[in-house]
Amino acid sequence: MRTLPRVRFTFAQLRALEAVARNASFTRAAEELHLAQPTISIQVKELADCFGVPLLDVSGRRVRPTQAGAEVLATARRVFEEIADLDMRLAELQGVRRGRLRIAAVTTAEYFIPDLLGPFARHYPEIEVTLAVENRDRVVARLEANADDLYVMMMPPAGDHLVAVPFLENPLVPVADIDHPLAGKEGIPVARLARERFVLREAGSGTRMACEEFFREHGLNPEVKLELGSNEAVKHAVAAGLGIAILSAHTLGIQHEQAGLTVLDVRGFPIKRYWYVVRPAERVLTPVARAFLEFVRSIETSGEPQGDHTPRRREPRAPRAAAGGT
């Protein structure tokens, strides 16, 4: 084994650099790591001082790694992977009873993921669960950086390098304010809907991507009135009469009419989509992640979601003894 040079940097500094590079932002990295932004800046600066070269280029509007930064990042990611492997080997030794489960889910999944995690966590009280909630683009970035055990999203990226298991229907529905002239009308043609103004999620959202695909497939180019960064903001804008939105039915509670919203009866809707649990094909799952996957698979994926759009589920079953095959 080669002798180690005297290491003067810390794991926390590497983690800060990785989070800033992946999010292309100090602010987002600070949010993700639950640290103050100046702390992150100092950690990255100290790391750069250690190597004697700048690691990030912050001259443009986006933060990008320099060539030296890319080298440090590549090594940092290898170190993180080794540590994740070690974590897994130690978890194997302890079985499924203890350990950690890191999940990253898209923002729209926040309406039902806690309902899944609740019974799972009750069944395995000693398992520590961390849930990161971001929009699709950022969840995909986490997936590419191999930052978590499992990822929940509606639009998994294509490719053989991923395994995506569908587990629940995710109908997308057109939503309008309750006093909208189209409210209560039956069989509205899509072309009529396309004459309305739309409130869309931000670029990078999977919901937005699915809406754009739908319009493209129907040769439509509707007017976009507003772009907003969360489902709740979109719902408020729709209720205020600012336009129509296409949203996952999971974002609407059974009480949505009380919030001033109604689902329009438009031909071709709901757009049928699914929720998937995604992971890199090469990643060996920890016993805990396997148990969670098993639990998620026990959810019925057929039929329309029930009234409150909460996934029907059974209590987690004891995980299969054999490793792999998930």
Cβ proximity to ligand PGA: between 29 and 154 the closer is 154
Phi, psi angle pair for 313, to nearest 5°: -145, 160
Examine residue 251 and tell whether it contacts ligand PGA (CB under 6 A). Answer: no
What tokens does 255 get?
């009480």
Examine residue 205 and tell whether it contacts ligand PGA (CB under 6 A). Answer: yes
- C-alpha Rg value of the chain to the nearest Å: 22
Cβ proximity to ligand PGA: between 153 and 175 the closer is 153
Residue number of the CB closest to ligand PGA reads 206
Say how far apart CA 97 and CA 264 lie, in whole Å. 47
For 287-325, b/e burial (b = at least 16 CB within 10 A) is: bbbbbbbbbbeeeeeeeebeeebebebeebeebeeeeee
Closest approach of ligand PGA to the CB of residue 135, in Å: 4
Closest approach of ligand PGA to the CB of residue 138, in Å: 8
For tokens 């070690």, the residue is 86
For tokens 């320099």, the residue is 66
Stretch near ligand PGA under the rule CB under 6 A, chosen from 64-72, 105-113, 115-123, 237-245: 105-113
At 289, is the secondary structure helix, strand, or coil? helix
Closest approach of ligand PGA to the CB of residue 206, in Å: 2
Examine residue 155 and tell whether it contacts ligand PGA (CB under 6 A). Answer: yes
Cβ proximity to ligand PGA: between 88 and 140 the closer is 140
Q: Which of 19, 21, 103, 153 binds ligand PGA (CB under 6 A)?
A: 153
Cβ proximity to ligand PGA: between 135 and 262 the closer is 135
Measured between alpha carbons, how far is residue 3 from residues 6, 7, 121, 122 in Å?
9, 11, 43, 46
Cβ proximity to ligand PGA: between 180 and 201 the closer is 201
Q: Which of 13, 23, 43, 207 binds ligand PGA (CB under 6 A)?
A: 207
